A and B are shown apart, each in its own frame.
Chain A
């Protein structure tokens, strides 16, 4: 509880929360504007036309992808110096002279920040989904929505662990660059694989994307989340709908074994971070 209060205060007082809120509002306003243009229905039409469904699914996919990017950058900017920055500026000297084991401090920082990121990404997810649901009248299933929501908020939890681990090894700026680059690589690989799949696929690219997803699971989780939402639309012509999504088609959505792997990955990232922080010299 102490860590949650402290992390909340840090996000608020450093104005990270304010900036994130303003960007989020701006993003949602723009998103809703674009959405309203995408889902214009001819006067007097009672049934939802197929094109409107395509527009709605595309809007959810793109909306959540960009929302995920915003959340990811909030994670990186808020935590890229969590360990190294505080070591460099001397803040850790007074903190670590207290009788607290370093692993507790590390996990306290993680869970304190994770709580607020969980809330933030949940709000982002809900805002996108509700907007699209209202504008495109998509028949969503609650079970699928919950699964997609859990996958959406799970991504930032992993990104947070990666960023914290990086900050135990790298200087603040280098960690921010490394995390953003890795995240960008993951998105790029997913996009490139999607494009490749439209023309028969490429084994080398798929293998490379899989290797990247072992270290940076954001794109794989996004793919699975998209799959859960589309599958939960409970519509006929699902195959046709998937084909209309182009590079965002979740044909290579990871299976549940991979989702289980991400739990192991999180545990490993936290364990490695605790170990690295525990052995770090505060010069």
Chain B
């Protein structure tokens, strides 16, 4: 287990930050923490990193208690709102961060580190700007330098807090490509974002945080009902057939007529665990004389899911992010 938290809670005088957050992140997965602004996502991340002291709860990060500096030995972190020393060059910032990780001055100045710095600058699209002072970087370039810093020491676990927020569309695409590369390299990534296209494109697992509380957690397939919902277009449908069919369904199945026309055609929404159950329904429909025209698997969009999750609590007050 890369990260495991139990009941992590942080409250602010101005409002709730995070309440009772328990989650686990498996090795080699890309985990997306979703939620609207002010949901408490950054508060949670900062508690995990030891930047904030939890009011309650505990957790283990890379085999050590959260807050223990050694738990961050194999961790890379890109904060959301951050700055580097603008009087340093990009390369000097990276050397400074290598030094903060316990390297001696000779190691920091070694040719091996110089080579690694060149690599991460190239990976993040800053290959010709390492010798420039950070004060001459654009916001997007500083974001790229933050990414380079997070990747510098080849971490096993990378926490990215809104990594695409200051980037243009090309930059966002490149970040997604980078995330794919990290997954291929067996890295575990924690992606804290409200950019749904990023999550949809790369995440294996997601959690939804709203008003400081964890509202849902699971794999993308589970939460978006991938392969669990179908729409079936039929002919010869009569309302009185519904109870009989519902009574003959296999466990875990459900059928609902979402649209019915006077000519007998109808659109049925079916929940099922697998295709075999859809085959069973097909047989039931044929037995009562209903004609089956079309079967379409249905997948909720992440946006729909996000809005439905947010909407449930939209009238409640905000929490601090």
Contact = CB atoms under 8 A, between A and B. Distances in A.
A91 interface: yes
Contacts of B50: 96
Nearest to B106: A1
A279 B51 CA distance: 9
Contacts, number: 81
A18 B177 CA distance: 45
Interface residues of B, number: 35
A47 interface: no
Nearest to B153: A98
B102 A99 contact: yes
Nearest to B98: A98
Contact of A94 (B12, B71, B73, B97): B97
B126 to A, nearest CB: 16
B239 to A, nearest CB: 58
Interface stretch (B82-90, B247-255, B276-284, B290-298): B82-90
A281 interface: yes
A165 to B, nearest CB: 20
A94 B82 contact: yes
Interface string B70-105: 111101011101111101100010001101111011
A91 B85 contact: yes
B87 A14 contact: yes
Interface stretch (A4-12, A30-38, A136-144): A4-12
B140 interface: no
Contact of A98 (B46, B101, B146): B101
B146 A94 contact: yes
Size range of the chain A interface in the assembly: 20 to 34
A5 B85 contact: no
Given A99-B73, A282-B52, A93 B102 contact: no
B149 interface: yes
A90 to B, nearest CB: 4
B52 A100 contact: no
Interface string A81-101: 000000001111111111111
Contacts of A204: none
B75 A97 contact: yes
Interface of B: 12, 46, 49-53, 69-73, 75, 77-79, 81-85, 87-88, 92, 96-97, 99-102, 104-105, 108, 146, 149
List 7 tightest A-B contacts by C-beta distance, closest first.
A13-B87, A93-B79, A97-B77, A98-B100, A282-B51, A90-B82, A99-B73
7 contacts: A6-B99, A10-B85, A92-B51, A97-B79, A98-B97, A99-B75, A101-B69
Interface of A: 1-2, 5-6, 9-10, 13-14, 89-101, 105, 279, 281-283
